Amino acid sequence: MSLAIEQHSEGIPLSRICGALALNRSSIYRSMSSEPIDEEQRAQRRSRKHSQQPRALSEQERQATLEQLNSAEFVDQPPAEVYHTLLERGECLCSIRTMHRLLREGEQHGERRQQRQPQSHSKPRLFADQPNKVWTWDCSKLATVKHSQYLTLYVVLDLYSRYALGWMVSLKENAALAMQLMEEASVRYAIAADELTIHQDRGSPMIAHRYIDLMGELGITLSHSRPRVSNDNPFSESQFRTMKYQPDYPRRFDSIAHARQWCEEYFDWYNFHHHHEGLNGYTPAQVFTGEYKMVASTKQAALDKRYELNPERFVNGTPKIHMPPLEVFINRITPEEIQAGAIDSVNFPTLNRVKEKSTLSFN
């Protein structure tokens, strides 16, 4: 380091010297400004560092403080609470900071009050191979022209067909309205007991006790998303995205009547005219009613006619119309989970089937 100082005095920049020697300039500046320290001074500094400080608590005082902190009265209280409580009684063991230091040395530092144990929620796994086997529903807020005022849209979808079974626009969101919507939908579609599963997230209407009790009386099984996991209810979320990205979607509604009028037109289009990508181009109503089979025949006839006119344009051979998916899943079990032993495949037999895009053949 002395050589670097000498070179710096000869006109070589100190930054260049430090870069070449991998030194820190602040260390060199400190050595230049301070007096050299001999070995005796270094030994004195080390001894002071490791020796008992005169102002430190004695071993008896440390033990007495820890006994108070871990007593039945103060075991779940923070040091500040213990400190001021003892002061009111005319006692002062040490400072709040010292109490923290003692707890940290004993690995007792942190939140001392009783904490809720970490909760583990199982991943919802749902499967539908026909209409009215699994429903999924959710709520979404609709902005109005009045600042900070929102309407609530309830939508119930059939998982297999994506058909909007029922919807409702209201001024508020509560369990009573959810109960009314579900009860009317179950009657309208003649849902028998123990035949339907309804999937929802964990909003206040979905976990209300009276809503859960009503579903139990109707013989409907309930499924809930995990907390703060929006991917557990993807079909309802996707429907709301489709709705709010419509070209004519009003960013703000004038009134609840305006919202109901627009939603009535939208859901008519969504159910009967929207060629759903997830359904391979069929409308939700066609899949819900089974009409897609007749529609597929018409589509296949059009493709066959085009193939006969220009077969050279179809490099992959005769075109075939794809049918809607035979099975629809929420959080489908993967082969990796089965191999890892995390899930018993016997409880989910459809996983053993080979999944292929279904096509309709014609004689």
DSSP β-ladder status, 221-224 and 197-200? parallel
- Residue of 230 and 197 predicted with greater confidence: 197
C-alpha–C-alpha distance, residues 211 and 179, integer Å: 6
The per-residue pLDDT for 34 is 62
347: pLDDT strictly greater than 60 = no
What are 267-298's pLDDT values in tens digits? 999 999 999 999 999 999 999 999 999 999 99
* Residue 135 sits in the same domain as residue 261: yes
> Would you say residue 359 lies in a domain?
no
Same domain as 231, residue 178 = yes
Give me the pLDDT at residue 38, please. Answer: 67
- pLDDT over 50 (residue 357): no
- Amino acid letter at 146? K
Contacts of 16 (CB under 8 A, 6+ apart): none
| Contact yes or no for 171/255 (Cβ under 8 A) | no
Average pLDDT, rounded, for the chain: 85
Dihedral Cα 344, 350, 352, 353, nearest 10 deg: -170
What pLDDT is recorded for position 113? 76
SS3 144: strand
Residue with token string 């309804």: 198
Is residue 42 in some structural domain?
no
Determine the 3-state secondary structure of 18 from DSSP.
helix
- Provide the pLDDT for residue 143: 96
Asked if 211 and 302 sit in the same domain, the reply is: no
Whether pLDDT at 29 is above 80:
no
> Cβ(190)–Cβ(197) under 8 Å?
no
Q: What mean pLDDT is predicted for residues 306-317?
A: 91
Percent of the chain at pLDDT exceeding 70 = 86
pLDDT over 70 (residue 348) = no
Distance separating the N- and C-terminal Cα atoms of the chain:
94
Q: How far apart are CA 296 and CA 36, in angstroms?
A: 93
User: Above 60 in pLDDT, residue 345?
Assistant: no
Q: What is the pLDDT of residue 49?
A: 59
187 and 239 share one domain: yes
Structural tokens at position 205: 């209407």
Which pTM does this prediction carry?
Answer: 0.67
Instruction: Answer yes or no: is 344 within a domain.
Output: yes
**Number of folded domains in the chain?**
4
Using a pLDDT cut of 90, give the percent of the chain over it. Answer: 65
State how far the alpha carbon of 113 is from the alpha carbons of 63, 78, 79, 302, 316, in Å: 22, 8, 12, 72, 68
What is the Cβ-side half-sphere exposure of residue 321, based on CA atoms within 13 angstroms? 21
**Separation between Cα atoms, residue 170 and residue 154, nearest integer Å:** 8
End position of a domain, from candidates 277, 307, 332: 277
Same domain, 92 and 132: no
Residue-number span of the structural domain to which 326 is assigned:
284-352
Q: Which residue, chain included where needed, has tokens 């779940």?
A: 76
Residue 138 lies in a domain: yes
Stated length of the chain: 363
* 187 and 317 assigned to the same domain: no
Q: Which residues pair with 276 in a beta bridge?
A: 282
